[in-house]
């Protein structure tokens, strides 16, 4: 069942699409029918920069299990890195 509920969050980062790297400004997360993945429903994540048009988008379709594993992996990676390292300027 599709919920049609979308969580959108502002992000700071970069994504790589067909035209190369671009700045990311938002991520949207929702559960819906996938466009490509061979499953009935997936957790869909769109990383985008709407100000640069529809080509500035990286889409991800994950099973529920894969999405939860990704959340855990992100939390583990951040917890094991020195505080502030991931946001420190190069």
Task: Return the bridge partners of 15, or none.
Answer: 22
CB distance 7 to 31 below 8 Å: no
Could you tell me which residues come within 8 angstroms of residue 15 by beta carbon, excluding any fewer than 6 positions away?
A: 21, 22, 24, 47, 48, 49, 56, 57, 58
What's the pTM? Answer: 0.85
Note the pLDDT tens digit of each residue in 1-14: 667 799 999 999 99
pLDDT for 3 equals: 72
* Distance between CA atoms of residues 8 and 16, nearest Å: 20
Q: Is a pLDDT exceeding 90 seen at residue 62?
A: yes
């Amino acid at each position: 069942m599709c919920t049609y509920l979308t969580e959108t969050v502002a992000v700071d980062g970069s994504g790589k699409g067909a035209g190369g790297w671009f700045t990311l400004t938002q991520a949207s997360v929702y559960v819906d029918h996938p466009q490509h993945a061979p499953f009935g429903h997936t957790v869909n994540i769109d990383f985008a920069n709407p100000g640069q048009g529809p080509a500035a988008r990286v889409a991800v379709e994950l099973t529920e299990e894969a999405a939860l594993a990704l959340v855990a992996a992100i939390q583990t990676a951040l917890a094991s890195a020195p505080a502030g390292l991931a946001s420190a300027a190069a």
